[in-house]
Chains A and B, each alone.
Chain A
Amino acid sequence: MGEAVTPGLLGSVAVAAALLAALATAAVVLDGVLGARSEGRSSRPALTRPVDEVARLLRQRRRAPLSADTLLWRIGGGGLGVAALLMVAVVPLGEWVIADLDVGVVWFNTMDVAVWALVWLTGWGANSVHSLVGGYRFLALALAYELPLMFALVAPAVGAASLDVREIAAAQGSLWFVVWMPVAFAVYCLGVVAFSVWGPFTPPAGSDVAGGVLSELSGVDRLLVQAGRYALLAAGAAFAVPMFLGGGSGPLLPGWAWVVLKSAVLLAALVWLRRRLPSARPDLVMEVGWVVLLPAVLLQDLAVAVVVAWRG
């Protein structure tokens, strides 16, 4: 545990990408199994779904609508997975981290804001009404979830008096931040689900607009976007571990194993939760985001700041 191994940068990125892909794949399988069970069907097809779907989309030809802005369209679609990978770059696996930034929290926030542009470009580039409406919807959702998410990230940073993700993880030696920052944690999880265009935040890819931002995607373009969404969900779950769930601390297992395990559990919870909620139309989310979540998370920040000042 915590061997000072410093593999080359490429090696580290490959390991992080493989872990992220494994988590995302597990999420796809779990979602498929839960879906099949809720409809009383066999869950067998869901077990091999990731492999089959990848095969299908690799075999499918990519097709662009008339006058599509293919450059921007594909930047948007391909960028989602990259953003997810850049998010986990600052997540410490025990002692080991790809990029030990002293402003890791800000880095994560930058990536999740970059998702705004990426999803919008995916909607815009296809030159199709449904796709564009999906893009609009995402921006409307983003206006609602982003500020609460930012202030949710502030709470652990204030609690640890650092923007360095490793220091934040280390500051939770005795008490995980999730215990005394539950509001920030809940809002953070909502933000993760939202920037993954997932669960209640699916309207940008909703079936009422024939798949919205996804409607014109085919072949490898579709594969990148779908994989990117799951990767973002997995990356968001992984980042919660050092922020709220005590990082790599835990008995018996080495630190990196705890990080992976906690990420997987949180990810599974997010996947499970999806089926229980209807999707939220952007105008409703706007109201909740600004009237409920933002004040709540600001109060949480205030409480954390008071506690930190009290402790001196």
Chain B
Amino acid sequence: MGVRRWLARRAVRASRVLVVECPGAWRDRVDAEHAVRARGWRLAESPASADVLLVVGEPGAELVEVVAGLWDAMPGPRARVDLAVGADPEPALDTAVASLLDTSAQAEDAGGRAQPDLGGDGTEHHGMDHEGMDHGGHEGMGHGSHEGMDHGDMEMAPDGIPLAGGTEDDRDGLEMDALPVRLGPVLPHWPAGLVLDVTLHGDLVTGGAARFLGAGAEDLPAAPDPAVLAARHCDDVVAVLALAGWDGGAALARAARDTLLERHGGDARDTLLDLRYRVARSRTLRWSLGGVGVVSAPLAARHGLPERAVGDCHDRVLALVDRTIATARVYGGLGSATPVDPADVDDAAGVPVQALGPLVTGYDLAVARLVVASLGTPLTPAEVGAHG
């Protein structure tokens, strides 16, 4: 027993946390991630690697199902904590530690689960009707009770997983090569609550449709504080740099974001300008993002995109940095004596969520992710209405 306790204590020090950000809980998610990192813990990229499921904010009906699927896909020992908007993350993480260390409760939890290694019996129906989900079972589609499958054709669906189908315009002429997959709503560096239903040929996206889970008028934020807005814009930069795999740049952008949140005006200016300089100057980033995911001016106009969306991913990440700097000026966060008039700042010019599907079509998954991130957090239909 002594060894087990010791093992459990050591294990908890290396915990990985899967954070689910519900719409409207951006600020709390950032604080929670901060608390997670401060403990020397790390963020999980998929439920299979997570010990703690941290749900930040109030999930809507659809997100509740997704969270249940994620919980089911976690191997255990596992702990789930819910963090209300405005609550302190520390006690929540302490609860998670206690739960992970409670060996008998964990054993009970494990005993009560249906054969995790066999992945459930594959017969549960949940009345949703997506054409076959990411049967790998992440991001909400847990295999234990893979809700969301279309069971209309069970013969062609071993273990309840629909086979990939063929299409006529297949680029390589292979049968059974078109696989419907849902990206999101819980993916690393992914806008909260966004789902993008794509058709994949191998890793090539051949069609897509995006929407927000449970997005309605009630999700419209009341005119956000400019400091928070600038930090949010900065967070979009973090996502692009992290997806480009540039850890150093992402850490810098994250630092700039946190400085903005703490309202250290002068520091924010220095950090942001340093970020702008480093992003613009990095040859490897230009090599990696240049010429990728080009959006032409007519295309942008057709989908109602703002001007900053025109260009390749590298242009857009620079535009995201510039947008952050512009927004920060609004609240005088950059130390300028005369705050800029908010009306002069183009911060409302977000990307309508419906535009994402057509824009990622034709790219492989890596580029599609970069395109989504480089456009910045998209607007819900309600927000488009409010600004338009």
Contact = CB atoms under 8 A, between A and B. Distances in A.
Contacts of A64: 116-119
B384 interface: no
A42 B38 CA distance: 8
Contact of B37 (A41, A214, A274): A41
Nearest to A202: B245
A166 interface: no
B288 A51 contact: no
B365 to A, nearest CB: 6
A66 B243 contact: no
A251 interface: no
Nearest to A281: B366
A312 interface: no
A52 B14 contact: yes
Interface in A172-222: 200, 202-203, 206-211, 214-219, 222
Interface in A113-158: 126-133, 136-137
Interface residues of B, number: 71
Interface in B146-179: 146, 158-161, 179
A99 interface: no
A48 interface: yes
Nearest to B288: A278
B45 to A, nearest CB: 4
Interface in B1-52: 7-8, 10-16, 37-40, 45-46, 48-49, 51
Interface size range of chain A in the complex: 35 or more
Nearest to A59: B11
Contact of B49 (A39, A40, A217): A217
B137 A65 contact: yes
Contact of B14 (A56, A61, A218): A56
A39 B242 CA distance: 14
A215 B136 contact: yes
Contacts of A208: 188-189, 243, 365-366, 369-370
Contacts of B7: 55, 58-59
B138 A130 contact: yes
A66 B135 contact: yes
Contact of B251 (A38, A132, A203, A214): A38
B143 A210 contact: no
Contacts of A40: 255
B75 interface: yes
A207 B11 contact: no
Contacts of B11: 52, 55-56, 58-60
B126 to A, nearest CB: 15
B285 A218 contact: no
Contacts of B119: 64-68
Contacts of A283: 364
B247 A63 contact: no
B181 interface: yes
Contacts of A209: 365-366, 369
Contacts of A281: 288, 366-367
Contacts of B51: 56, 60
Given A207-B242, A217-B49, A61 B137 contact: no
Interface in B110-135: 110, 116-120, 122, 134-135
Interface in B335-388: 364-367, 369-370
A284 interface: yes
Given A61-B110, A211-B49, A215-B48, A278 B245 contact: yes
Given A63-B48, A66-B119, A210-B46, A45 B135 contact: no
Nearest to B122: A66
A66 B75 contact: no
B45 A210 contact: yes
Contact of B46 (A35, A203, A215, A284): A215
A64 B364 CA distance: 26
A65 B73 CA distance: 8
A129 B135 contact: yes
B246 interface: yes
> Which of B48, B117, B187, B282 has the most chain A CB atoms closer than 10 A to its own CB?
B48
B340 to A, nearest CB: 30
A53 B11 CA distance: 6
Contacts of B243: 206-208
Contacts of B76: 60-61, 63
A127 B164 CA distance: 12
A36 B42 CA distance: 11
A128 B40 contact: no
A211 B46 contact: yes
B248 A38 contact: yes
Nearest to B290: A284
6 contacts: A55-B8, A62-B117, A66-B120, A67-B119, A127-B135, A278-B285
Given A52-B11, A62-B75, A222-B48, 9 more contacts: A48-B10, A55-B11, A63-B48, A64-B119, A65-B137, A209-B366, A210-B138, A219-B75, A278-B244
Interface of A: 35-36, 38-42, 44-46, 48-49, 51-53, 55-56, 58-68, 70, 126-133, 136-137, 200, 202-203, 206-211, 214-219, 222, 274-284
